[in-house]
Amino acid sequence: MRRYVILARRFALALALGASPGAALLQAQTLPAGLAARLAACGACHGVDGNASLRDTPSLAGQPAVFLENQMVLIREGIREIALMQGALEGFTDTDITALARHYARQPLKAPAASRDAVLFAKGEKLAEQNRCGSCHLPNYAGREQMPRLAAQREDFLLHSMRQFASNQAVGRDTLMAASLHGLNDPDLVAIAHYLSRIGP
Ligand code: HEC
Ligand code: HEC
């Protein structure tokens, strides 16, 4: 329970900082030395600049800081289960996690792949609209607060995570998402992943 109180407080803090960009800019332009060293380990999977080049691995660059912060706490506590990340966040304090979240949120996300399958792209765009994905993830799919950015995320990771939600394998993740995919079949998810990965940032 206490954790969630901490999260709620941090959420309020993030909003307050968001309201004053000057203060946010002054914060943590550089990471403390100890954290910077540990960041190298994350880079092996998520990319040194937060742009992942490994299969089924999310890019962290340009994600809302609140989303990253919440997920890192859930992963550290073992609530969101990620076998590959076992122990990766061990020893990180809440303050470290806040600094890491801000760091990745500020990294520029790479432009999406230019190659598009016109039919798949159009199908994905229509399905995302019909299913109102933008009502939470924003109409440009840039995400906000606890809702992740989907635009320009890796196509394979988008598909992998939607399949996890759809089959109720997304342990420790928000059940709202499984509900949001109700009625969509696997080829629909393939089209949505193609579309979202090719737009923005
Ligand atoms: C061995 C590879 C690996 C390492 C090392 C690793 N991660 Fe991950 N991470 C993953 C994978 C794979 C996922 C997605 C798993 C899934 O959803 O099935 C993930 C998910 C995440 C997420 C959730 C993002 C999202 O969009 O859902 C965050 C945040 C994260 N990692 C942060 C970190 C940080 C910070 C470090 C370093 C302390 C780190 N990771 C180290 C592989 C790794
Ligand atoms: C009611 C709000 C809501 C709606 C509607 C919604 N989402 Fe989400 N979505 C979320 C939240 C919140 C999360 C973060 C869940 C978590 O990690 O626990 C999320 C996570 C995701 C993720 C995982 C991304 C990552 O980086 O880990 C994908 C992919 C996704 N949503 C796709 C979609 C698609 C496609 C639609 C429309 C069919 C949709 N969402 C509709 C709230 C919503």
Residue 161 CB–ligand 2 contact under 6 Å: yes
Query: How confident is residue 175, by pLDDT bands cut at 50, 70 and 90?
Result: confident
Of the bound ligands, which one is closest to the alpha carbon of residue 182?
2
Give mean pLDDT, residues 176-190: 95
Note the pLDDT tens digit of each residue in 106-149.
999 999 988 999 999 999 999 999 999 999 999 999 999 999 99
Would you call 155 exposed, middle or buried from its count of C-beta atoms within 10 A (0-12, 13-18, 19+)?
middle
Residue 146 CB–ligand 2 contact under 6 Å: yes
How far, in Å, is the centroid of ligand 2 from the Cα of 33?
Answer: 34
Residues 6+ positions from 27 with CB-CB distance below 8 Å: 17, 102
Cβ atoms 14, 6 nearer than 8 A = no
Residue 101 CB–ligand 2 contact under 6 Å: no
Residue 72 CB–ligand 2 contact under 6 Å: no
Against a cut of 0.75, is the pTM above it? Answer: yes
